[in-house]
A and B are shown apart, each in its own frame.
Chain A
Amino acid sequence: MSYLQLDAVAKHYGSRTVLRDVSIDLKAGEFVSLLGPSGCGKTTLLRIVAGFDQPDSGRVVLEGRDISGLAPAKRQMGMVFQAYSLFPNMTAQENVQFGLRVRRQDAAAQQKRAREVLELVGLAEHAQKYPHQLSGGQQQRVALARALAISPALLLLDEPLSALDAKVRVQLRDEIRRIQQETGVTTLFVTHDQEEALSISDRVVVMHDGVLAQVGEPAAIYGEPANIFVARFVGAVAELPGVVADGSGGMVTVLGRQVAASRARGMAAGTRVYFLLRPETVRLGPPDAAGMLHGTVIARTFFGALTSLKVEITGGTDCVTAAMASGDAANIAIGSTVSVNWDPDSPRLLVA
């Protein structure tokens, strides 16, 4: 049985449809990310789960109980907001104790639990500081501790890392995952950052225009995008126009050349497809007749260990990006002609 079930949830603001019959099931202890661009409905969905917004139709079911009409205060959910949600008039410890205080727990139990969760997030020594005395990352960790202090049935994270700088974001991201695994709390995490979603989730829900574009494990979302939106939104991809040339032999005509793509097997000849290549699957080599495609290196972007080279395919304006070790990439000059190759199992084909 699902731990949390969102059943055909729909929401409109005036004439604008924000969510269209969204259904998701979460298992107990699962970490699920809602991933999508701004305006796709992911935050609205989270707010419906939290009870801050009401769905126009559909149900929110937690542990078999329909909580759609339940007030947020009665849902026993912990939520971490984007930023600035700590109560500024309370110390870190008082913030963490707040949920227990309004539950009229005795003071000693409140303090004990607050210490536990502050230690869990590594901020026990900052317990007596006010929010303005803490860094952005520390504030979000206190917010996380505050949400966990009430032992929530569900942890809701609304882009909690978006206001932090890159280094702190990665640290806190890993810490959130560690804490989630330690506590086993079922978590729904909203983000527009694909790297965040892919790196810490058990499953990722990609949303687009108020509908689910794909639900799956991070590797599946990245490697087997269900549609062109997911392929474009998650990770970098080169998108070439192709036509299946031989369905039995796994051959596709791309930019005038017949190239191998094992996923073409079983497809009808003549089917128009998006021929998708991830940068890490592309190999560049010296120009030779055996090359699948040929092109000219037109740009180079250095990322430290890796460098990406952008190659304009000969005879057109389409480009392919290859990600390779920076040491190898250094030997390929901008303007040089290269062959573009890949493993036949690598390209993903989506019917155009």
Chain B
Amino acid sequence: MSLRPVKSAGPLARSGGLFTLVFMAPFLLYVTAFLILPTLMLLATAFLGKHGPTLHYVASLGQGQTVVAFRNSIELSALAALVGLVVGGLAAYFVLRPGMPRGLRSLVTTFGAVAANFAGVPLAFAFIATLGSLGMITVWFKDIGVNLYGMGFTLYSMPGLVLVYAYFQVPLMIIVITPALEALRREWREAAENLGASTWDYWRHVGLPILLPSLLSAYILLFGNAFSAYATPYALTSGIVALVPVEISNVLSGNVMVSQQTGAALALGMIVVMVVVMGIYALIARRVGRWVKR
């Protein structure tokens, strides 16, 4: 039996691979320089003390204040992501419904793009000026006999933070879920209707299951967005509500204590949380998206 030589890839395939490499190389370098290497440095810093390797800083993640910060950050992010998911998802759905004014969609998309990026100190100031204890709306309500702060509301609390986060979470959700909503084909809805399905049947069996992978991805994005927010909660609460990004700032540039190692351990903790969340997402996504062409 004679063996045929294996054909090598043609010149076109080789040049295609070269082009891919040329265009991907800067990106890969960028990721290596500003994501992988810093992560490795964090890892090293978190486990290195003055006298060599130590578990001291990582072990300090179990201390009371740190645990509270992580719990607050996770709860706040989960809740803010949920609010963004529901409100933004419904807003995008209603904007995209047939018969809505033609200009509404572009108006909402443009506003969404701006609002999703309007965070940090300006956003905190805007809310303090409107819903702070002496904010415009708070005073208006007081004038008509409704004392928001007297009723227990405060902007400088977890509910207050959720409200502020919603300002950039909802528009972000609108932006990321719009393509998925647009991809819902009219034929699916009509076929369901034709087969006797009610609106509820359609959404339960067809619409939502098809959207579920996109909704999960959007939730993870919103969670990460909220989890890493720093300037907004810092400017708003000045540390009243313990959150991990604010704690990191405190230990890196605080007046009381400066400890790079503690900061690195906290950042490592954040990475672990995100990895766990994404792991859960991957498991669920594989299950709910088993019909997706891969």
Q: Do A and B come from one complex?
A: yes
Question: Residues of A with Cβ closer than 8 Å to B?
Answer: 50, 52, 71-79, 81-82, 84-91, 98-99, 101-103, 130, 132, 143, 146-147, 150, 156
Chain A interface, >50% SS class:
loop
Interface size range on B against A: 20 to 34
10 new A-B contacts, CB < 8 A, other than A50-B194, A76-B196, A90-B291, are: A52-B193, A73-B195, A78-B194, A79-B191, A87-B210, A88-B291, A99-B195, A102-B192, A102-B195, A132-B293
Q: Which of B28-36, B160-168, B201-209 touches A?
A: B201-209
Check B187 for interface membership: any CB of A closer than 8 A. yes
Given A87-B206, A89-B291, A132-B293, are A150 and B195 also a contact pair (CB < 8 Å)?
yes
- B196 contacts A73, C-beta separation under 8 Å: yes
Nearest Cβ on chain B to A47's Cβ, whole angstroms: 9
- A102 contacts B201, C-beta separation under 8 Å: yes
Check B188 for interface membership: any CB of A closer than 8 A. yes
- A89 contacts B209, C-beta separation under 8 Å: yes
With a cutoff of 8 Å between Cβ atoms, the chain A residues found around residue B195 in the complex are 73, 78, 98-99, 102, 146-147, 150
Q: Of B188, B193, B292, B293, which one neighbours A87 at CB under 8 angstroms? A: B188
Nearest Cβ on chain B to A127's Cβ, whole angstroms: 14
Nearest Cβ on chain B to A72's Cβ, whole angstroms: 5
Check B40 for interface membership: any CB of A closer than 8 A. no
Beta-carbon contacts under 8 Å, B170-214 to A: 185, 187-188, 190-198, 201, 205-206, 209-210
Sample of 29 A–B contacts (CB below 8 Å): A50-B194, A52-B193, A72-B194, A73-B193, A73-B194, A73-B195, A73-B196, A73-B198, A74-B196, A84-B187, A86-B191, A87-B191, A87-B192, A88-B291, A89-B206, A89-B209, A89-B210, A89-B291, A99-B197, A102-B195, A102-B196, A102-B197, A103-B196, A130-B291, A132-B293, A143-B191, A147-B194, A150-B195, A156-B194
With a cutoff of 8 Å between Cβ atoms, the chain A residues found around residue B192 in the complex are 87, 98, 102
With a cutoff of 8 Å between Cβ atoms, the chain A residues found around residue B291 in the complex are 88-91, 130, 132
- B193 contacts A72, C-beta separation under 8 Å: yes
With a cutoff of 8 Å between Cβ atoms, the chain A residues found around residue B194 in the complex are 50, 72-73, 75, 77-79, 147, 156
- B185 contacts A85, C-beta separation under 8 Å: yes
With a cutoff of 8 Å between Cβ atoms, the chain B residues found around residue A72 in the complex are 190, 193-194
Residue of B nearest to A150 (CB): B195
With a cutoff of 8 Å between Cβ atoms, the chain B residues found around residue A74 in the complex are 196
In the assembly, what is the distance between CA of A298 and CA of B195, in Å?
54
With a cutoff of 8 Å between Cβ atoms, the chain A residues found around residue B206 in the complex are 87, 89-90
Nearest Cβ on chain B to A259's Cβ, whole angstroms: 52
- B197 contacts A73, C-beta separation under 8 Å: yes
With a cutoff of 8 Å between Cβ atoms, the chain B residues found around residue A90 in the complex are 205-206, 291
Beta-carbon contacts under 8 Å, B248-294 to A: 291-293
In the assembly, what is the distance between CA of A102 and CA of B187, in Å?
17
Question: In this complex, which of A84, A88, A91, A146 has the most chain B Cβ atoms within 10 angstroms of its Cβ?
Answer: A88
With a cutoff of 8 Å between Cβ atoms, the chain B residues found around residue A102 in the complex are 192, 195-198, 201, 205
Residue of B nearest to A47 (CB): B190
Residue of A nearest to B212 (CB): A89
With a cutoff of 8 Å between Cβ atoms, the chain B residues found around residue A98 in the complex are 192, 195, 197, 205
With a cutoff of 8 Å between Cβ atoms, the chain A residues found around residue B209 in the complex are 89
With a cutoff of 8 Å between Cβ atoms, the chain A residues found around residue B201 in the complex are 102
Nearest Cβ on chain A to B274's Cβ, whole angstroms: 28
In the assembly, what is the distance between CA of A301 and CA of B185, in Å?
41
In the assembly, what is the distance between CA of A194 and CA of B30, in Å?
60
With a cutoff of 8 Å between Cβ atoms, the chain A residues found around residue B292 in the complex are 88
In the assembly, what is the distance between CA of A84 and CA of B205, in Å?
17
Residue of B nearest to A52 (CB): B190
In the assembly, what is the distance between CA of A102 and CA of B191, in Å?
12
With a cutoff of 8 Å between Cβ atoms, the chain A residues found around residue B205 in the complex are 87, 90, 98, 101-102
Residue of A nearest to B188 (CB): A87
